[in-house]
Amino acid sequence: MDLATIIGLVLAMAAILGGQALEGGSIESIMQPTAALIVLGGTFGACLVSFPLRAAIKSFKAVAKVFQESRLDNREVISEIIRYANKARKEGIISLEAEVQNASDPFLRKALTMAVDGVEPKILRETMEMEIGNLEEEGEHPIKFWEAAGGYSPTIGILGAVLGLIHVMENLSDPSKLGSGIAVAFVATVYGVGLANLVYLPFSAKLKLKLKADMLVKEIIFIGVISILEGENPRLIEDKLKSFVQDKAEGAEDKASGREQRAA
């Protein structure tokens, strides 16, 4: 569970609906199915015209990711790589053939299989880079989809409001309905702006950070497997890969002091 997503959504909804209630406004007054129909239909219609069907479906599936905990600690994948590095160093890279099938990450499995198969380092490097590029591009689709939704939604909301206002203006002769008509029209704006700023754009932002974390793992694997293939000292590989996992600020201190102890 990505706590921040849950807390954020609850906080925003509570603040807005709570504020609405405190002001004495009823929740029903902002529950307008017609406005929802216009805003949601218009926004996702525009998104479908903008993206291929496959990307749209994937983008809805990617919403699950927004709620899942990111793997922030890459130590495990590094330990795994170092284990392979040690074995490859002692018994030759071919000795990894059996273990490779149980590699924890499909990208790691693929890279090691190619290494075991005796693919040339140059080709392996190119293929892995292309693969990382592909994975990154794939991962950007949902980010762009929700960003586009966040761009279309407020304007569709305004469109809905203007349509409502046109309706109101045509019936000015009955001023008693003026106010409630305008109120209904404004709800479309609330939906359009609210969904964009509380859901679509934040989802896109979170997916972007999660993609970055995912890509970091692939980069660790990339550097690790290339180093194994080039027969580097496992100790050095570990040092190199650990630069990626420090708990940053504090970590810089810890690592330094760790080394100091080692040096002492």
Q: Does 197 bind a copy of itself (CB under 8 A)?
A: yes
Is the C-alpha dihedral spanning 101, 104, 107, 112 positive or negative? negative
Would you say 135 or 226 has its CB closer to a copy of itself? Answer: 135
CA 145 – CA 59 distance, rounded (Å): 7
Q: Which residues make Cβ contacts (< 8 Å) with residue 83, sequence separation at least 6?
A: none
Q: Which residues make Cβ contacts (< 8 Å) with residue 41, sequence separation at least 6?
A: none
Largest CA distance in the chain: 91
Q: Does 214 bind a copy of itself (CB under 8 A)?
A: no
Interface stretch with a copy of itself, choices 73-81, 83-91, 180-188 (CB under 8 A): 180-188
Q: Does 85 bind a copy of itself (CB under 8 A)?
A: no
- In this chain, which of 87, 109, 125, 217 binds a copy of itself, going by CB under 8 A? 109
Q: Does 106 bind a copy of itself (CB under 8 A)?
A: yes
- In this chain, which of 27, 64, 72, 230 binds a copy of itself, going by CB under 8 A? 72
Closest contact distance (angstroms) between CB of 8 and a copy of itself is 3
The torsion angles phi and psi of 141, rounded to 5 degrees, stand at -55, -55
- String marking each residue 31-60 x if it binds a copy of itself according to CB under 8 A: ---xx-xx-xxx-xxxxxxxxxxxxx----
Q: Does 211 bind a copy of itself (CB under 8 A)?
A: no
Interface stretch with a copy of itself, choices 74-82, 83-91, 187-195 (CB under 8 A): 187-195
- In this chain, which of 80, 88, 93, 202 binds a copy of itself, going by CB under 8 A? 202
Q: Does 215 bind a copy of itself (CB under 8 A)?
A: no
The torsion angles phi and psi of 3, rounded to 5 degrees, stand at -55, -45
CA 150 to the chain's CA centroid: 15
Would you say 89 or 208 has its CB closer to a copy of itself? Answer: 208
- In this chain, which of 78, 85, 184, 221 binds a copy of itself, going by CB under 8 A? 184
Q: What is the 3-state secondary structure (H, E, C) of 160-198?
A: HHHHHHHHHHHCCCCHHHHHHHHHHHHHHHHHHHHHHHH
Closest contact distance (angstroms) between CB of 231 and a copy of itself is 15
Closest contact distance (angstroms) between CB of 201 and a copy of itself is 7
Q: List the interface residues with a copy of itself, window 120-179 (CB under 8 A).
A: 123, 126-127, 130-131, 134-135, 138, 148, 152, 154-156, 158-160, 162-173, 176, 178-179
Q: Is 89 exposed, middle or buried (0-12, 13-18, 19+ CB in 10 A)?
A: middle
Would you say 41 or 83 has its CB closer to a copy of itself? Answer: 41
Q: Is 252 exposed, middle or buried (0-12, 13-18, 19+ CB in 10 A)?
A: exposed
Q: Are 39 and 199 in contact (CB under 8 A)?
A: no
